[in-house]
């Protein structure tokens, strides 16, 4: 039961991250290519440590010039 709950929570987090960056793309604050990089990172999320994921996400945000999210 706990594994199912954690899996659902991870999927929810992935969707939230994607939705946040999709909003930025819709607002024209990041490009579609930037959004593709976010999708790629989210797709790899299951295989990364929390620290590695957060580091790579921070690097993407910095390269996009995004300070929120």
**Calpha distance 67→34 (Å, rounded):** 15
Judged by phi (left if over 0) then psi (alpha if -120 to 50, else beta), residue 55 lies in alpha
Give the percent of the chain with pLDDT over 90.
80
Domains of the chain: which residue ranges? 2-64
Query: Which of the pair, 67 or 53, is modelled with greater confidence?
Result: 53
Q: Confidence band (pLDDT; 50, 70, 90) for 31?
A: very high
pTM: 0.86
What's the pLDDT score for residue 68? 75
Dist. CA 17–CA 58, nearest whole Å:
12
Confidence of residue 4 (pLDDT cuts 50, 70, 90): low
Cβ contacts of residue 61 below 8 Å, gap of 6+? 67, 69
């Amino acid at each position: 039961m706990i594994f199912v709950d954690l899996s659902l929570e991870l999927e929810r987090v992935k969707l939230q991250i994607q939705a946040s960056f999709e909003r930025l793309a819709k607002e024209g604050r990041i490009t579609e290519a930037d959004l593709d990089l976010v999708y790629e990172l989210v797709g790899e999320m299951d295989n990364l440590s929390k620290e590695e994921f957060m580091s790579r996400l921070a690097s993407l945000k910095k390269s996009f010039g995004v300070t929120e999210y």
